[in-house]
Structure 1
């Protein structure tokens, strides 16, 4: 692959600093993780957004979370059609192989992916409607959520509501996976929905009995 280049120097320096400090101080723990494999208690599905760092928010150590990130923290519908499904594969591995006890979907404020879905569904982003748009076709997953909030008059409030719909739609889609539904029914797996306000640092969790998000 002739287009690949060596790692930028600033990242090399950061790696060497980590190896000399964090790794050196916890070498036995890292070797244990390597030898014994991973046994995370929870899977977290979060957005690719660089401002969202779930390990920092929860103070998690290596080996504690099985993390999958994608645009707008979405879970697609169960669709074993032979195509490549990265998120569905991650969910399957977490639930059936790692036997996680929790699957957490975490959305966030100012989500660019959700904004793109809002603009696409409202006719303001025709470029995302093209079949060649990977982002647009991925955001099709959230169209049912847009239908539930489209009557909110204020576009800012509508987009904010759609961020939380991204969490709810994903939770609904998770329950369409037979291996997820069976584990939930047997009490071996629980699903959780969260929404994080980046600027305020607050966290809200979804309460299905009320159909609302409330602060943790």
Structure 2
């Protein structure tokens, strides 16, 4: 394997700084995490957008959150078809092995994945329609959300609504997993939907009774 290279210098410097300060000052805590394993209370499903930093938003320490990130914070429906399902496997591990008490889906403003789906759906991104497009086939998960709003919204307004539909689709799909539905029924697990405004620092939660997003 001759294509792997050493880390860029700026990352090496940041690591060395962390090891000399944060790690050194909390060495016993890190060693406890290593020896006792992880016991997170919540799983976070967020977008892999570099601007969304859930540990900063909630002031979380190491060991608090079990985090999974993917394009547009989507959860696919339960499909035990033998294919590789990274998101589904992560959910299974969080719920059945780690026994998290909460699964939180957090969407965000200016989501490139959601915009890509809208462009694909409206014919502006034919490359995403190609069968070999990993992004396009992944974003197909959002189709039910688009179908709910496409006759009522268009352009940027539709994209804005789609960001929240991505959260709702993921919440719906979570309940198609038998072990998730069973844990929710037994009141051992609760599901939560959030939307984060990157520029304003806002956070909204999905309220089922009104089918709307409200300030936290």
TM category, shorter: over 0.9
Q: Could you list the per-position Cα deviations for residues 180-206 of structure 1 after superposition, in whole angstroms to 9, with x for gaps in the alignment?
A: 000000000000000000000000000
Aligned length: 216
Question: Partner of 1:127 in structure 2?
Answer: 127
Question: Partner of 1:107 in structure 2?
Answer: 107
Matches of 2:147 and 2:154, distance apart in 1: 15
Q: Could you list the per-position Cα deviations for residues 94-136 of structure 1 after superposition, in whole angstroms to 9, with x for gaps in the alignment?
A: 0000000000000000000000011111111111000010000
- Structure 2 gap ranges (5+): none
- Which runs of 4 or more aligned residues in structure 1 lie more than 3 Å from their structure 2 counterparts after TM superposition? none
Aligned partner of residue 116 in structure 1, secondary structure: helix
Alignment of 1:44-193 (within 5 A): 44-193=44-193
Q: What value does the CA root-mean-square deviation take over the aligned residues?
A: 0.6
Q: TM-score, normalised by structure 2?
A: 0.99
Structure 1 residues 129 and 15 mapped into 2: Cα distance closer, same or farther (>3 Å)?
Answer: same
Matches of 1:199 and 1:22, distance apart in 2: 28
What's the offset of the Cα at 1:83? 0.2
- Structure 1 gap ranges (5+): none
Q: TM-score, normalised by structure 1?
A: 0.99
Matches of 1:204 and 1:27, distance apart in 2: 36
Matches of 2:93 and 2:61, distance apart in 1: 20
What's the offset of the Cα at 1:67? 0.1
